[in-house]
Amino acid sequence: MLKINNLTAHYGAAQALFNVDLEVNQGETVALVGANGAGKSTLLKCLMGLVKPSGGQISLNGTDVTNTNPDQMVRLGLALSPEGREVFSHLSVLENLQLGAIPLKLSKTESSARLDEVFSRFSKLQERRDQLAGTLSGGEQQMLAMGRALMAKPSLLLLDEPSLGLAPLITDEIFATIHQLARSGTTILLVEQNAARALSASDKAYLLANGKIVEQGKSSSLLNDPILRSAFLGAASDTNPAASRLGAAGLTNIRLEKPDMQQQNFMPPFKDETELEIHQLAGLQWTVRHAYEGSAEYREKLDQANITPDTIQSLDDLQKLPFTTAEDLRKGYPFPLRSVPFEQIVRVHASSGTTGKRKVLCYTQKDLDNWTDFFARCYQMAGVTPLDRVQIAVGYGVWTAGIGFQLGCEKVGAMAVPAGPGNIDMQIQFLLDFQSTVFCSTASMALLMAEEIHKRGVADQIAIKKIIYGSERSSRSMRKKISELFGGAELFDITGLTELYGPGTGIECSEHDCIHYWGDYYLLEILDPETLQPVPEGEWGEMIVTTLCKEGAPLIRYRTRDITRKIPGRCACGSILPRHSRIKGRSDDTIKFRGVNIYPSSIDTILSTVPGIGSEYQIHLTRNNAGRDHMRLVVERAERVEVKRIPELSHEISHQIKKQLLVSVDLELTDYASLPRSEKKSQRVFDSRIQDEIV
């Protein structure tokens, strides 16, 4: 939207700006940070035409606007909230606001509508609309200056030192408004002396010193950089935390106990895949010996297979080992596969029991430390930093979810908001009050929250940038819907199972086309679920896992029943950690319909390709008196899709299912949001063909 090239400016013989280059894209908040006298306000005045540049070019939407008059700049879409507020003290609040739109020559109706918008954003101004501006407090005058600029409905809002001279609580209120403006799509160029405030409120930033740009980049990276923090934010001590502007702004722990930002790295140290394989072989050899010597169950299995710890001489020997199954966990209840003395066990966890009796696993302290570290790795791969506030809306208790998310969050140094599942009113209140930036939940809970946020009209008041979800499959259309209703949040699918520590054993990276799994903590095989033989590279099969350092209850070739595939080669994100696709389904929950095996995720995929279809559906399987099976597919129309499109959509869905899955279905298209939403896992398959109890 805005491009500044080689800009210079003088006040008489004194040069204030030296060859400044700066860009602002539509929808961004860009911070310009520097000390007093750095040239920040001069740059804004050059943009508005209040100071004539002595060199360089200013382009707005591709048009050269260098030296354009201020009133014309307002008509082109710029508006300035100046340093020091500069309100007209002898005029009322209402009159000051009306001045902001004078160059636009608005009708009375439009002017009134814009006043209503400003008053809805700044309720204090509504209460004082007839009061003289000179009698307002400093914070109220700042609101007035911003409201006056917003009267022009600018495509680019220029804010010059909005926190100058304000008390911390008032500054909080001003910056909360800046965040809301950004989330509503307003493009902002923010000039601030308070570096911590500016960087935490912006997408990217330029650091200005003595009229020159000395550093630029993503705001989060600049704010986390220890060298820049020292140079621009000052240094604090236990006895004087306010010596840092960051500390004074309340944006870091007052006792400075948080780890150095960007100094922690939870990624493995291996330079290449060969080093990783050496580590894996050593881990496999340790695991087999540990299990053989520590677990009577494993010793019996290995003896029956004529395997001793010395058998393992290469990673290829993994295929000689016997399988472990969920049945082994049930038979060994309540401490299955235990391979350490009881006095070394510090915790037990159990699965949620969605596919049968709970599976209980025991953990040593080292197991918990490892789990915490690689969960922190998940947050790191998703770009979560100590500046984030992570709202954890998953279950706490004997299952692994909540505590895993929390320990990893605290390890990476972010603020944990342990909300737990359910209670939508509380969740939304927390999003608003705590300004959480990361939301962790199941995919179903995320969709439920997204729709409720949209329904309540608070999308521009929340600060969620990332959603980390797991525990169930999600279609592309469901992910897209969640992201859109959350205001463009970035989604990360996280994997895990209780038997393998818990959630956090892998996560998708910023490329969003795969799951990176932690090959330094476990080995992954992909086998044909029927023959239990390896499938060709890149083909779908059942995920088999073997732990490399798990003490309490190690896993040797554990059949997870999850269906996925390995992705060959190194990821474009640069990580050497191996990859697999998102979980497609389970080898034990396929739908057998008229001789065809169907994964529910196949229905996901087909529906995602049909425009006009929502993300929610149900599969109902019945059997008539003649013994013939029927499948009824109930699918939601997308929001605002008209009823008259039902025949067209029905034909397309039926055609694609017949073409791709080779079965015919009875299709029912229903209204948007008519199917139930769940705070846990959504039930999508209803099979009533077998009426008697399954033993």
pLDDT per position as a tens digit, 660-671: 888 889 999 999
Domain boundary residue, one of 235, 256, 277: 256
What mean pLDDT comes out for the span 79-91?
93
Q: Which of 64-78, 91-105, 361-375, 670-684 shows the lowest mean pLDDT across its residues? A: 670-684
Domain boundary residue, one of 556, 585, 614: 585
Q: Which residues pair with 467 in a beta bridge?
A: 439, 491
Q: Which two tokens stand for residue 594?
A: 């008229």
What mean pLDDT comes out for the span 91-107?
93
Give the pLDDT of residue 230: 56
Q: Report the CATH number at residue 568.
A: 3.40.50.12780
Least Cα distance to 254 among 239, 237, 241 occurs for 241
pLDDT band (50, 70, 90) for residue 224: confident
Q: Are residues 419 and 529 in the same domain?
A: yes
Residue 608 domain-assigned (yes or no): yes
Percent of the chain with pLDDT over 90: 61
Give the pLDDT of residue 151: 95
Give the pLDDT of residue 176: 87
The answer to whether the beta carbons of residues 291 and 551 sit under 8 Å apart is no
Q: Are residues 671 and 614 in the same domain?
A: yes
pLDDT band (50, 70, 90) for residue 34: confident
Cα distance between residue 515 and residue 567, in whole Å:
9
Q: Are residues 219 and 236 in the same domain?
A: no
Cα distance between residue 251 and residue 654, in whole Å:
54
Coarse DSSP helix, strand, coil percentages of the chain, rounded to the nearest 5 percent: 35, 25, 40
Give the pLDDT of residue 97: 96
Give the pLDDT of residue 249: 40
What mean pLDDT comes out for the span 465-474?
85
Q: Which of 367-371, 474-478, 647-651 shows the lowest mean pLDDT across its residues? A: 474-478
pLDDT band (50, 70, 90) for residue 247: very low
Question: Which carries the bigger pLDDT value, residue 624 or residue 610?
Answer: 610
What mean pLDDT comes out for the span 87-91?
95
Least Cα distance to 586 among 574, 570, 597 occurs for 597
Q: Are residues 516 and 643 in the same domain?
A: no
Q: Are residues 210 and 241 in the same domain?
A: no
Q: Are residues 576 and 643 in the same domain?
A: no
What mean pLDDT comes out for the span 148-163?
94
Q: Are residues 559 and 432 in the same domain?
A: yes
What mean pLDDT comes out for the span 404-420?
95
Q: Are residues 455 and 544 in the same domain?
A: yes
Give the pLDDT of residue 228: 61
The residue assigned the tokens 């908040």 is 29
Cα distance between residue 176 and residue 172, in whole Å:
6
Least Cα distance to 611 among 589, 639, 592 occurs for 639
Cα distance between residue 401 and residue 442, in whole Å:
10
Give the pLDDT of residue 238: 43
Give the pLDDT of residue 690: 53
Average pLDDT, the chain: 88
Q: Which two tokens stand for residue 389?
A: 């506030």
Give the pLDDT of residue 241: 43
Q: Report the CATH number at residue 610.
A: 3.30.300.30
pLDDT band (50, 70, 90) for residue 476: confident
Please determine, for residue 462, whether its predicted confidence score (pLDDT) is greater than 80: yes
Q: Are residues 677 and 564 in the same domain?
A: no
Give the pLDDT of residue 422: 84
Give the pLDDT of residue 226: 63
Please determine, for residue 290, whether its predicted confidence score (pLDDT) is greater than 60: yes
Q: Are residues 558 and 655 in the same domain?
A: no
What mean pLDDT comes out for the span 599-621?
85
Residue 350 domain-assigned (yes or no): no
Q: Are residues 580 and 597 in the same domain?
A: no
What mean pLDDT comes out for the span 99-118?
92
pLDDT band (50, 70, 90) for residue 244: very low
Q: Which two tokens stand for residue 177?
A: 């408004």
Cα distance between residue 393 and residue 380, in whole Å:
19
Please determine, for residue 255, whether its predicted confidence score (pLDDT) is greater than 50: no
Q: Are residues 609 and 578 in the same domain?
A: no
What mean pLDDT comes out for the span 508-513?
92
Backbone angle region of 491, left / alpha / beta, with phi > 0 → left and psi within -120 to 50 → alpha: beta
Please determine, for residue 231, whether its predicted confidence score (pLDDT) is greater than 60: no
Cα distance between residue 643 and residue 93, in whole Å:
49
Q: Which amino acid type is present at position 13?
A: A
Q: Which of 256-265, 326-335, 440-449 shows the lowest mean pLDDT across its residues? A: 256-265
Give the pLDDT of residue 215: 87
Residue 680 domain-assigned (yes or no): yes
pLDDT band (50, 70, 90) for residue 167: confident
Give the pLDDT of residue 627: 62
Q: What is the pLDDT of residues 555-599, one digit of tens each?
A: 999 999 888 999 999 999 999 999 999 887 777 666 767 766 677
Residue 322 domain-assigned (yes or no): no
Cα distance between residue 130 and residue 115, in whole Å:
13
Question: Which carries the bigger pLDDT value, residue 471 or residue 359?
Answer: 359
Q: Which residues pair with 688 in a beta bridge?
A: none
Residue 121 domain-assigned (yes or no): no
pLDDT band (50, 70, 90) for residue 236: very low
Q: Which residues pair with 440 in a beta bridge?
A: 392, 468
pLDDT band (50, 70, 90) for residue 289: very high
Give the pLDDT of residue 354: 44
Give the pLDDT of residue 399: 82
Q: Report the CATH number at residue 163.
A: 3.40.50.300
Helices (H), 184-272: 195-200, 219-224, 226-233, 245-248
Please determine, for residue 117, whether its predicted confidence score (pLDDT) is greater than 80: yes
Please determine, for residue 4, whether its predicted confidence score (pLDDT) is greater than 80: yes
Residue 309 domain-assigned (yes or no): no
Least Cα distance to 569 among 655, 613, 511, 642 occurs for 511
Q: What is the pLDDT of residues 418-430, one digit of tens each?
A: 999 889 999 999 9
Domain boundary residue, one of 557, 585, 613: 585
Domain assignment of residue 655, given as a range: 591-687
Number of folded domains that form the chain: 4
Residue 31 domain-assigned (yes or no): yes
Residue 36 domain-assigned (yes or no): yes
